[in-house]
């Protein structure tokens, strides 16, 4: 076996040399492969032929060593060198290098986990991070809120240009100067409408008719007969008597109303006359406008030479067969001695041009006659009628049912003399019914009428529960409905700045209170909450009323918050009504200021952003609320036209106090949170952010100023770039400057990295001797860190490998010499027989 064994042994050396050359060749071939780890072949002796085991020393011998002949070599190990490769900067942001121990975790074709040190990554069509061989890079992903989900390894996604993000505002920083000088803001602006009435009440719809009252018909002669029977009468010869005859129309107070065109008759008794008989008294007046005159009786008055006033002595009914005769036998002075039984004649007359209104009323306390709540709105105005030393007959008065819904139970007649300087209508008659056809003779002189109650032309005033479609406004003698069903488009002004348009749907059930609530909300009027008296919004100093809407004398009033920059205003085009037919009308409801706002204040407008990146407008107003010897306090009010509450249109989103000390330094701010509701959009609601007042000064200045220097919200932005940190966190940078986590790279390390199974394409798999992978974040648990924008070069040592190549070549040649020598010896052996 000697020569044959020598050849076999040399053959193992050739094989070992070839393996060395293979390993070195692979190292050199991958000297430019990123992340490649060079390997080294290690050898061990193969089997040995033992010729003798040797002997131990004895007394006679010194002992012998074993005699063993080696039978060659074998490859004991091909060990990868996982030492750090050189880090080289790359121009590709997706390239990464591991500084230290660890492997990138990637997904194999079968879904298994593989490992690599090659950090050349790129993006696929699904925006996933993959290796140059198409394996997906694994790590922790994120949820919809960009929170890293540290549960399951998933392919990392970097959606450049596809993902958008917004930053909701969490803080806003203010600066400026709020001066302690100036007026304290203790008074708000009050604006009000004209008087508004309730149009749903029943009212007279026609005007009365008026005529001159007609006197007795004297076409039939009045004859005085002197009676000779002295003993039957009390008159004395030579006495003179004057008689007057007056038509009377019955009225509700049962005293009767007299016309003024009376007729007079003068009689003087002679000789022994003791009585007077008057014959042919007319029993029926002439018609008026073709209709019978509305008189019921005729009254006879008398006075003698010693009297200045006529006394009623007899009353005769009209109608029947007539004419009537009458005998008077009372002595001079008889009637004057009994003024109760024989009342004096009312000789009052009208002079001027008169017009009349009629209202329905409720007969209650006499003091309520002029109260608009006890009177309907007036009828049409009658045509004017002139009167000269006469009286006017009023007829065709409007009527209604006794069961009317408003409880009217009387009619009231109101008169104005157009010839006088008095522009008002005064009560001249009240009729205690609403359904009867009555005729009234107006005999009240102007002197008496001027002391009578005055007509309120606006009628019953609106109340909070009045329906908007029933609200009327008087314009002269006409009445117009202010609202109708539709959508009210309201645009107000506050502090001289326009507010956003708000809409209010008017239905048949909408009330005045609903409108006031809407206007309060749309104008951002803030009321006291009643929770903390020390911090609450103070009332108006002039009226002691809380800010907001209220009704006073039929007028809608709006009281704004204190301070000049909280002053309210509604222009002529501030209210537009889009009717159900689509027509847009201007609501004829003028507003006038009746109290000016007072107080030092400042205002600023700025934008914030909700969770969807929607810009929200905010107006911040600060008003000087109080000051004393040690401090100054301003109240801030925040409005946002983009506030979107669950119900209503309120724009008020916050209020609080700012306090400065005696040196103008900021001391404290209460309730510095602004809360904007976002109920009808999908963004997070409410958006709440803090106001930082620390940079505001409380020093004296000519004018207070306020501004927002910055806020930390942003509009929507798309992902434009990303950064990978040393800890493996992938942070996306969006076009709006916001950064968000996009994922977390995870690395793995092994107890024996040399025990990994190489799969080619720079990939390793778990080996039977590698140990289980230990996953962790870069920089933790003995795992190296990530260097982004760089690659780890191959750790092949070309010089060392070339030396190894030379040594392997020498080894190979040496082993071939062994084979050659053995062959020559065999040849010589075969040649012995020759």
Q: Which residues of 316-327 are buried (b: 16+ CB within 10 A; e: fewer)?
A: bebeeebebebe
Q: What is the pLDDT of residues 381-411, one digit of tens each?
A: 889 999 888 888 888 899 999 999 989 999 9
What integer pLDDT is reported at residue 38 of this predicted model? Answer: 86
**Residue 564 pLDDT greater than 90, yes or no:** yes
**Neighbour count for residue 545 (Cβ, 10 Å):** 14
Residue 667 · residue 135 · CB < 8 Å: no
pLDDT tier at 282 (50, 70, 90 boundaries)? low
Residue 760 · residue 26 · CB < 8 Å: no
Mean pLDDT (whole number) for 342-346 = 84
**Residue 445 pLDDT greater than 50, yes or no:** yes
Q: What is the pLDDT of residues 19-29, one digit of tens each?
A: 888 888 888 88
Mean pLDDT (whole number) for 584-588 = 93
In the numeric block, the tokens 């005159």 are attached to: 293
Q: Among candidates 234, 194, 224, 398, which has minimal Cα distance to 300?
A: 224
* Percentage of the chain lying above the pLDDT 70 cut: 91
Residue 657 · residue 625 · CB < 8 Å: yes
pLDDT tier at 229 (50, 70, 90 boundaries)? very low
Which of 88-92, 203-207, 253-257, 270-274 shows the lowest mean pLDDT across its residues?
Answer: 253-257
Which of 16-25, 527-536, 636-645 has the highest mean predicted lDDT (pLDDT)? 636-645
What integer pLDDT is reported at residue 231 of this predicted model? Answer: 47
Q: Which domains does the chain have, with CATH numbers?
A: 2-82+798-831 (no CATH), 95-143+153-162+719-792 (no CATH), 171-185+600-712 (2.60.98.20), 189-198+464-595 (no CATH), 214-328 (2.60.40), 350-449 (no CATH)
**Residue 522 pLDDT greater than 50, yes or no:** yes
pLDDT tier at 643 (50, 70, 90 boundaries)? very high
What integer pLDDT is reported at residue 532 of this predicted model? Answer: 62
Q: Which is higher by pLDDT, 152 or 9?
A: 152
Q: What kind and span of H or E run contains 603?
A: strand 601-609
Strand partners, 299: 246, 315
Mean pLDDT (whole number) for 581-605 = 93
Q: Among candidates 769, 633, 726, 535, which has minimal Cα distance to 184?
A: 633
**Residue 322 pLDDT greater than 50, yes or no:** yes
Mean pLDDT of the chain: 86
Q: Among candidates 183, 176, 181, 180, which has minimal Cα distance to 621?
A: 176
Distance from the Cα of residue 333 to its chain's centroid: 86
Which of 168-182, 719-733, 800-814 shows the lowest mean pLDDT across its residues?
Answer: 800-814
What DSSP string describes 778-792?
Answer: TTSTT--EEEETEEE
Sequence-separated (6 or more) residues with CB below 8 Å from residue 447: none
Assign residue 15 a region (left: φ > 0; alpha: ψ between -120 and 50; beta: otherwise): alpha
What integer pLDDT is reported at residue 588 of this predicted model? Answer: 92
pLDDT tier at 515 (50, 70, 90 boundaries)? very high
**Residue 228 pLDDT greater than 50, yes or no:** no
Q: What is the pLDDT of residues 415-435, one digit of tens each?
A: 999 999 999 999 999 999 999
Strand partners, 766: none
2-29 helix and 798-830 helix, angle to the nearest 10 degrees: 160
**Residue 834 pLDDT greater than 90, yes or no:** no
What integer pLDDT is reported at residue 345 of this predicted model? Answer: 82
Q: What is the pLDDT of residues 241-261, one digit of tens each?
A: 888 888 887 664 555 666 655
Residue 408 · residue 379 · CB < 8 Å: no
Q: Which is higher by pLDDT, 786 or 370?
A: 786
Q: What is the pLDDT of residues 45-83, one digit of tens each?
A: 777 777 777 778 888 888 777 876 767 788 878 888 888
Q: Report d(CA 122, CA 642) in Å as an integer.
A: 44
**Residue 123 pLDDT greater than 70, yes or no:** yes
Q: Report d(CA 456, CA 378) in Å as an integer.
A: 9
Which of 436-450, 528-542, 553-567 shows the lowest mean pLDDT across its residues?
Answer: 528-542
Mean pLDDT (whole number) for 267-294 = 68
What integer pLDDT is reported at residue 83 of this predicted model? Answer: 86
Residue 803 · residue 810 · CB < 8 Å: no
**Residue 268 pLDDT greater than 90, yes or no:** no
What integer pLDDT is reported at residue 817 of this predicted model? Answer: 83
Mean pLDDT (whole number) for 756-772 = 90
What integer pLDDT is reported at residue 476 of this predicted model? Answer: 86
pLDDT tier at 326 (50, 70, 90 boundaries)? confident
Strand 196-198: give its sheet, edge to edge.
196-198, 471-475, 478-481
Q: Report d(CA 23, CA 256) in Å as an integer.
A: 142
Strand partners, 69: 49
Q: What is the pLDDT of residues 350-372, one digit of tens each?
A: 899 999 999 999 887 666 777 77
What integer pLDDT is reported at residue 283 of this predicted model? Answer: 65
What integer pLDDT is reported at residue 320 of this predicted model? Answer: 64
Mean pLDDT (whole number) for 161-173 = 88
Q: Among candidates 320, 227, 316, which has minimal Cα distance to 275?
A: 227
What integer pLDDT is reported at residue 219 of this predicted model? Answer: 46
Q: Report d(CA 781, CA 775) in Å as an integer.
A: 9
Mean pLDDT (whole number) for 188-210 = 91
Three-class DSSP labels, 146-178: CCEEEEEEEECECCCCCCEEEECCCEEEEEEEC
**Residue 1 pLDDT greater than 60, yes or no:** no
**Residue 226 pLDDT greater than 80, yes or no:** no
* Percentage of the chain lying above the pLDDT 90 cut: 47
């Amino acid at each position: 076996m000697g020569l044959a064994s020598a050849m076999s042994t040399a053959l193992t050396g050739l094989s070992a040399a070839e393996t060395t050359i293979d390993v070195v060749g692979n190292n050199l071939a991958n000297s430019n492969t990123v992340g490649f780890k060079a390997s080294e072949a290690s050898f061990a002796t193969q089997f040995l032929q033992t010729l003798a085991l040797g002997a131990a020393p004895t007394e006679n011998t010194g002992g012998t060593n074993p005699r063993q002949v080696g039978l060659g070599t074998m490859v004991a190990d091909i060990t990868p060198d996982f030492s750090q490769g050189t880090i080289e900067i790359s121009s590709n942001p997706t390239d990464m290098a591991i500084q230290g121990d660890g492997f990138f975790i990637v997904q194999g074709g079968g879904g298994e986990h593989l490992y690599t040190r090659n950090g050349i990554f790129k993006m696929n069509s699904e925006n996933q991070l993959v290796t140059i061989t198409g394996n997906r890079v694994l790590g922790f992903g994120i949820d919809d809120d960009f929170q890293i989900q540290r549960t399951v390894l998933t392919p990392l996604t970097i959606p450049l240009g596809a993902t958008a993000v917004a930053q909701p505002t969490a803080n806003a920083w203010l600066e400026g100067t709020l001066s302690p000088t100036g007026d304290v803001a203790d008074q708000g602006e009050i604006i009000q409408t004209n008087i508004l009435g309730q149009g749903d009440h029943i009212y007279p719809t026609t005007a009365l008719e008026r005529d001159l009252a007609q006197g007795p018909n004297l076409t039939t002669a009045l004859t005085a007969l002197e009676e000779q029977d002295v003993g039957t009468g009390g008159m004395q010869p030579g006495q003179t008597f004057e008689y007057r005859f007056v038509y009377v129309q019955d009225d509700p107070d049962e005293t009767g109303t007299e016309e003024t065109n009376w007729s007079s008759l003068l009689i003087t008794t002679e000789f022994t006359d003791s009585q007077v008989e008057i014959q042919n008294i007319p029993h029926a007046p002439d018609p008026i406008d073709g209709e019978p005159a509305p008189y019921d009786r005729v009254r006879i008055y008398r006075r003698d030479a010693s009297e200045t006033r006529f006394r009623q002595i007899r009353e005769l009914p009209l109608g029947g067969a007539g004419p009537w005769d009458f005998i008077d036998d009372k002595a001079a002075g008889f009637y004057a001695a009994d003024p109760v039984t024989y009342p004096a004649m009312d000789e009052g007359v009208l002079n001027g041009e008169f017009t009349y209104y009629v209202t329905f009323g409720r007969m209650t306390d006499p003091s309520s006659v002029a109260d608009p709540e006890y009177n309907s709105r007036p009828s049409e105005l009658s045509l004017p009628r002139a009167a000269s030393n006469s009286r006017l007959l009023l007829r065709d008065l409007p009527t209604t049912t006794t069961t009317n819904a408003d409880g009217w139970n009387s009619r009231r007649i109101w008169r104005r003399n157009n010839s006088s300087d008095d522009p008002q209508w005064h009560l001249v008659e009240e009729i205690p019914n609403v359904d009867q056809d009555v005729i009234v003779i107006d005999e009240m002189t102007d002197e008496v009428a001027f002391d009578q109650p005055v007509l309120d032309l606006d009628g019953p005033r609106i109340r909070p529960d009045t329906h908007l479609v029933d609200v009327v406004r008087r314009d002269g003698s006409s009445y117009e409905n202010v609202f109708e069903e539709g959508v009210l488009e309201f645009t107000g002004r506050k502090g001289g700045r326009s507010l956003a348009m708000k809409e209010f749907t008017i239905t048949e059930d909408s009330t005045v209170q609903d409108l006031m609530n809407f206007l309060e909300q749309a104008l951002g009027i803030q009321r006291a909450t009643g929770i903390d008296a020390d911090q609450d919004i103070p009332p108006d100093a002039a009226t002691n009323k809380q800010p907001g809407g209220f009704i006073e004398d039929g007028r809608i009033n709006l009281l704004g918050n204190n301070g000049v920059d909280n002053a309210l205003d509604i222009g002529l085009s501030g209210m537009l009504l889009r009717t159900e037919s689509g027509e847009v009308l201007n609501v004829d409801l003028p507003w006038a200021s009746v109290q000016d706002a007072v107080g030092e204040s400042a205002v600023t407008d700025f934008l914030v952003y909700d969770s969807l990146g929607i810009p929200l407008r905010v107006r911040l107003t600060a008003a000087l609320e109080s000051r004393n010897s040690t401090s100054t306090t301003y109240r801030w009010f925040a409005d946002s036209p983009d506030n979107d509450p669950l119900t209503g249109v309120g724009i008020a989103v916050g209020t609080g106090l700012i306090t400065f000390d005696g040196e103008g330094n900021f001391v404290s701010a209460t309730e510095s949170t602004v809360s904007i509701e976002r109920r009808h959009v999908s963004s997070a609601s409410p958006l709440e952010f803090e106001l930082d007042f620390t940079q505001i000064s409380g020093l004296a200045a000519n004018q207070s100023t306020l501004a927002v220097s910055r806020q930390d919200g942003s509009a929507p932005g798309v992902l434009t770039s990303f950064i990978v940190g040393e800890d493996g966190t992938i942070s996306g940078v969006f076009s709006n400057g916001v950064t968000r986590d996009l994922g977390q790279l995870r690395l793995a390390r092994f107890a024996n990295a040399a025990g990994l199974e190489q799969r080619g394409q720079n990939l390793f798999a778990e080996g039977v001797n590698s140990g289980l992978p230990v996953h962790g974040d870069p920089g933790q648990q003995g795992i190296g860190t990530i260097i982004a924008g760089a690659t780890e070069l191959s750790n092949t040592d070309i010089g060392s490998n070339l030396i190894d190549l030379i040594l392997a070549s020498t080894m190979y040649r040496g082993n071939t010499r062994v084979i050659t020598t053995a062959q020559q010896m065999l040849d010589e052996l075969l040649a012995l027989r020759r």
